[in-house]
Amino acid sequence: MPDSIGSEAIICTGLAKTHPGGIEAVAPIDLRLMAGQTTALIGPSGCGKSTLLRLIAGLDQPDAGQVIILGMTPEKARRRAAISVAFQDPSLLPWLTVRGNLGLARRLARQRPDPVRTLRLIELVGLAGFADTRPAALSGGMRQRAAIARALVTQPQVLLLDEPFGAVDELTRRQLARDLPPLWQEAGTTTLLVTHSIAEAVTLSDRIIVLSSRPARIVADIDVPLPRPRPADLAEDAGFRAIAAKALAALSALT
């Protein structure tokens, strides 16, 4: 386990963003995420979840407030390959194969090639047999999974995922929900993910942050103290149901 466990990996202070046209997406938000934890962000469609994630990733600039990741600005953390992102649009390079895209991510992070890890990740996201396929020949869900593997291949300390399973079929979603968290735990990765699924949020995370309608504010902060590894039939568990009910109540209170 990395030394950073027990400390705060992501600190957002007074973070706010209004998009062009006066669209207030994120109201001032204060958020502190512990290293090694997985947090799910849920909220109504269009409430500002992606905007918040992009601000944390340093891909958008806030109008107010700041983000500190592992003691650095998001830009510096990205330059050091301490953060990886996998967003809804997988943005794989079309002229490279899946393996090539993962290899490039390592080169850009100034890391030596690691063919064994690369192939293990490609297999883990269910793309065994497609390592040498280019993105154009993959389905949307397969491209998303390739993007998840690419985000993990550099072994980032912080992983930001925006609806990573959005285009992925139900069975594969379940497999990913089973196989990815142990990987994050093993590496002590701090993961922040946006999802529309309460069940996915409870299954994957240690904490669920519920955001209000636009502009996003934190309306509930729910602990998910369910033991890991989490079984495939977790949804049958009374603890799971109680947490899911809390998240649903927080979302329902918004309407």
Ligand X SMILES: Nc1ncnc2c1ncn2[C@@H]1O[C@H](COP(=O)(O)OP(=O)(O)OP(=O)(O)O)[C@@H](O)[C@H]1O
Which residues form the interface with ligand X (CB under 6 A)?
Answer: 19-21, 23, 25, 43, 45-51, 214
Chain center to CA of 67: 16
SS3 content of the chain, % helix, strand, coil (to 5): 40, 25, 40
Q: In the 8-state DSSP scheme, what is residue 170?
A: H
Nearer to ligand X, 154 or 200 (CB): 200
Nearer to ligand X, 44 or 188 (CB): 44
Q: In the 8-state DSSP scheme, what is residue 230?
A: P
Peptide bond connecting 115 to the previous residue in cis, omega within 30 degrees of 0: no
Nearer to ligand X, 45 or 255 (CB): 45
Say how many C-beta atoms besides its own lie within 10 A of residue 162's C-beta. 21
- Could you tell me the smallest distance in angstroms from the CB atom of residue 46 to ligand X? 4
Q: Are strands 38-42 and 64-69 parallel, antiparallel or unpaired?
A: unpaired
Q: Is the dihedral of CA 109, 114, 119, 124 positive or negative?
A: negative
- In whole angstroms, give the CA distance from residue 168 to residue 139: 9
CA terminus-to-terminus distance, the chain = 42
Nearer to ligand X, 17 or 99 (CB): 17
- Could you tell me the smallest distance in angstroms from the CB atom of residue 151 to ligand X? 18
Nearer to ligand X, 214 or 246 (CB): 214
Nearer to ligand X, 20 or 225 (CB): 20
What values do phi and psi take at 12, rounded to 5?
A: -110, 130
- Could you tell me the smallest distance in angstroms from the CB atom of residue 192 to ligand X? 13
Nearer to ligand X, 43 or 156 (CB): 43
Mapped onto helix, strand or coil, the DSSP state of residue 39 is: strand
CB 36 within 8 A of CB 1: yes
- In whole angstroms, give the CA distance from residue 28 to residue 9: 19
- Could you tell me the smallest distance in angstroms from the CB atom of residue 45 to ligand X? 4
- Could you tell me the smallest distance in angstroms from the CB atom of residue 198 to ligand X? 14
